Structures are given as C-alpha cells and as structure tokens.
Structure 1
Amino acid sequence: MNVIEKQYKLEPNRRVTQLVTIFILCLLFGWSLSAIELEQLTTNGFTIAKNILVGMVQPDLSLLVNVTTSGVPYLLIETMAIAFLGTVVGSILAIPLAFLSASNIVPKPIAHVVRFLLILIRTIPAIVYGLMFIRVTGPGPFAGVLTMSLVSIGMLSKLYVDVIEDLDISILESMESIGCTTLEKIRFGILPQLLASFLSIVIYRFDMNLRDATVLGLVGAGGIGAPLIFAMNAYRWSEVGSILIGLILLILIVEYMSNKIRAKLVRG
C-alpha cells in the first residue's frame, strides 16, 4: 500500500493543465454556438421540413418502379457506377503513389515529396474537383468518375502507406537470400501481406464515394443528385421522397454487403 501511495504522489499534478484545456474547449464551444441563428428559422422553413417528411411518407411510387433513364432505379445504378468506377481507377493509381511515399521502401526525401503532393490532393474538396472537371469535360457521369478517381487517390494512398509501412521486411530479405527475383518477391512476399488490407480499404472508400457521388450530382456530375435538387427547387416533395427512399435503400444494401466482405477479409 505504501508503494502505491508513493507512486501516486510521484505522479505530476496535471490539474492546472486539465482546467486550462476545459476552459479553452468551453470557449471554442461557446464561439461555435454563436454561429447558430435561430431567427433564421421561419414558418416557411418548418413548412418545407414538414413537406419533405410528408413526401417521404407519401412518395411518388411511379418513380420507384420506372425503369427509364428518368426513373429512380436507373439514377441509382448510374450513381453507384460512378462511385464504383471512380474507386477502381483511384485504387489502382494510388498503389504506386503509396509505395513512393512509404519511407521504408524509398528514400525519405522522395517519400516526403510524394506525401506533400498527396496532402495537396486531399486538401481540395470533392465538389471543387467536380466543378473543375465539369468545365473540362462538360456535365455528366464522366466528370463524376474523374472526380471520384482523384479524390480516392488522395485518401487511399494515405491508408495504403500505413499498411505498407507495417510490412514485414524480413520476409523479403529471406526471399532475397534464396535467390528470388523481384517479381517473385512482389508475388509471394508483398502481395499476400497487403492484398486483404488493400481490398478492405478500397471497399471502405467505395462506401464513402457512393455518398460523395450523390452530392456531385448536385453540380451536374451525373447521378441522382441533379434530379433531387431539381425536385426540391420545384417543390415536388413526393419526388424528393421517392429519391431519398431509393438512396436510403441503396446505401443500406451497400453498407450491409461491404461489412460482410470486410469481415470475410479480416477472418481470411
């Protein structure tokens, strides 16, 4: 007991630091509350919120079963295709950048330069990339795919690097000692260690891209976002309800499937 008390007394007194931290957090919280402007909440705003909820309860069922290009199923498939293709392209392009930014694979100066480039890519929001590509390629799904690819590169490369830097180098050294070629070291030494983790990261990114693809549609980069904003601007709340129900179902299905696949990858 005396040893415990002695150890307790030797612990530094962090009370002042904790009080200062709490005070700063309270100041930041109070400053954040100042951004809330309740006077902007008008009767019209509450009416619109009520209409959106009513639209979700009483959706336009004809849109949910419409298999033409203006129907919800087609728009959801287009949104998912944009997210999927953008994720695939981004995940492939991110692999060499990840290896170039891994300090245990390449010299540190090169790794720092590539990491700085990846930070720049991640700094710009997806919607800004979308607006840029729309100017280059015109509105449509292709701009959405390019945006998803570029946004995916930034995040996937960062997550890949974390996995690569945990790579067991001793396996590669053992393979080199028995005369394995570079391709054999990659095939039997690197890929088995990285493949499952890389696939899990890519699935997670696809989950995020599916939501981002919906937002990109608002600026004309294809998908279901554009019909959603048009319906809201025209106060067609039953159409808004149909689109939101479709989005919720799609995201729930993708979330369920991605969790199942990631769980299998972890167990495997």
Structure 2
Amino acid sequence: MTTLERQLLAAPRNFQYVSTVLIILCILFAWSLTTISIQTMDENSLKVASNIIYGLTHPDLNLLLNVSKQSVLYLLVETLCIAFLGTIVGSILAVPLAFLAASNIVPKPVAWTIRLLLIFIRTIPALVYGLMFIRVTGPGPFAGVLTIGLTSIGMLSKLYVDAIEELDVKVLESMTSIGCSTFDKIRYGIIPQLLSIFMSVMIYRFDMNMRDASVLGLVGAGGIGAPLIFAMRGYKWDQVGSILIGLVILILIIELFSTKLRSKLVKG
C-alpha cells in the first residue's frame, strides 16, 4: 500500500455531511425541473431548431470574408477598437481613484467614500450605461467607448487599490531617509512596484471588455452586436453563424495574446 493510499484511508469519513449536501442538491435539482415545460413545443419548434442548426453550420461566407462596411471583418475591427479605447480610458481614470481609495495613502474616511463610489459604479450593468450614453451622444461607437470606459473603472480601481495597499513601504521609508522628493518616491519607489501589476490587470480587463463590446451593439452602442440581433430577428441564421465564427476566432486570438503578455509581466 502506497503512502497516498494510507493517507486516504486514514482521513476522517464525514458521511453525514456529504449525505446532507447530496440530498440538498437533489432537492434543488428536482425543484428546478418543475420550472421546465415542454408542452409549448410542437412541430414548428422542431423545425425552427433544425433551421437554426443548419444556418449555424452553413455560415454566409461572403459576409464573413469580404471587407465592406457591412462585413463581419469590419464590424469586428470596430468592436475591437471600442474595447481597446474604452480600456485605455478606464485604466487612466482608475489610477487617481485607486490612490484616493487606498487607506495607506489617504485618510480612511476619504478612502471609504471613494470605495463606495466605486461600488456604485460596479453595481450598474454595462447595458444600462450604454442606454444612458446613447441618450447623450446618440447611437454609435462613441457611446460604446464611454460605456466600456466607465464600466472598466470600477473593476480596475478595485484591483489597483489591492496592489497599492500591498506596496513595500520600507522602500519609501528608505527613500525618505536619504532626502528623496515626492516625485522621486513616485518615480523610483511606487511606479516600479505597480507598473507590471497595473498592466497585467489592464490586459485582463481588455479581454473582458472585448466580450462586453460585442454585446453593447444590441442597444445601439456600435460594434457587431447590432447586426447580430438584426440577423437573429430576421431568422437569417447563416449570417448569425458567420458573426459567431468571427467573434469566436477574434476572442481566441485575444485570449492567446493576453495570456502570454500577462505571464511575461508577472514573471518580469
């Protein structure tokens, strides 16, 4: 008998706890099944389902491969630009808010006030912000950029605050003892500790913003979401398939590059 097997056999058996959890899960599963109704399904439902599957597996290649303003490629580039610009705007605005929300930088009442503001910003969904900005700027990519920028501030500021509060203050104390100015402490003591973390968080948020930007088009904030919802409403499932293929490929590419960049930043 191996050491691992002996450890497993020696581990305490909490059958009562496991049994209770399983019973609760079974009850919740059975309760969830009561909300499912298949009585509304008929022959038309099966026909619609088969048309959806056929359209998704036979995408409109002309829409996917051409380079006009109505093509998937152009709309994906527009969506990418919305996500990128929105991430840059949110990242820049999040930095001063993060410093104001860090309890080791400013007095605690100020820090908690700013944190409440950031919680409020994070609470409101991106689609609500999109509808608000569309009323102000009109439909289009600019409303999408503003929406992505504002929604990014809440998350980025929270993660920035965590990094700021974990600063090595001994470095700053030693710089103060040798007579360094505030600018020198920021330039040589704070920025080197935070830059790689901030960049890693920003890249991660850009990855999330790419998905949000593809949805914002549903409310008219630019990008590929609007053509997607129009194709679905018009039952043009071959166009839906083309758009989804383009989105999947683009997000996979961004995921690959963002993962590599974040790993290099963390190792650096």
TM-score, normalising length: structure 2: 0.88
Root mean square deviation, CA, Å: 2.3
2:73 is aligned to 73
Change in Cα spacing, 1:189 to 1:227, as seen in structure 2 (3 Å) is same
Q: How far off its partner does 1:95 sit?
A: 0.7
Identity of aligned residues (%): 66
AA at the equivalent of 2:225 = G
Q: Pairwise mapping of residues 181-220 of structure 1 onto structure 2 (< 5 A)?
A: 181-220=181-220
Q: Deviations over 1:168-218 (max 9, x none)?
A: 111111111111111111111111111111111111111111011111101
Q: Pairwise mapping of residues 93-108 of structure 1 onto structure 2 (< 5 A)?
A: 93-108=93-108
AA at the equivalent of 1:188 = Y
Change in Cα spacing, 1:106 to 1:31, as seen in structure 2 (3 Å) is farther
Q: Find the aligned partners of 1:119 and 1:182 in 2 and give their Cα distance.
A: 30
Q: Find the aligned partners of 1:124 and 1:158 in 2 and give their Cα distance.
A: 15
Q: Find the aligned partners of 2:18 and 2:183 in 1 and give their Cα distance.
A: 54
8 Å contact from structure 1 (residues 52, 241) kept in 2: no
Q: How far off its partner does 1:112 sit?
A: 0.8
Q: Deviations over 1:59-91 (max 9, x none)?
A: 111111221110111000000100110000001
Change in Cα spacing, 1:123 to 1:41, as seen in structure 2 (3 Å) is farther
Equivalent position SS for 1:59 = coil
Equivalent position SS for 1:69 = coil
Query: Paired residues, what number?
Result: 258
Unaligned runs of 5+ in 1: 1-13
Q: Find the aligned partners of 1:177 and 1:33 in 2 and give their Cα distance.
A: 68
Equivalent position SS for 1:88 = helix
TM-score, normalising length: structure 1: 0.88
1:231 is aligned to 231
Change in Cα spacing, 1:95 to 1:18, as seen in structure 2 (3 Å) is farther
Equivalent position SS for 2:221 = coil
Equivalent position SS for 1:130 = helix
Q: Deviations over 1:222-260 (max 9, x none)?
A: 000100111111111111111111001000100011011
User: Is 1:110 paired with 2:148?
Assistant: no
Change in Cα spacing, 1:40 to 1:108, as seen in structure 2 (3 Å) is farther
Q: How far off its partner does 1:97 sit?
A: 0.7
Q: Find the aligned partners of 1:113 and 1:34 in 2 and give their Cα distance.
A: 45
Unaligned runs of 5+ in 2: 1-13
Equivalent position SS for 2:247 = helix
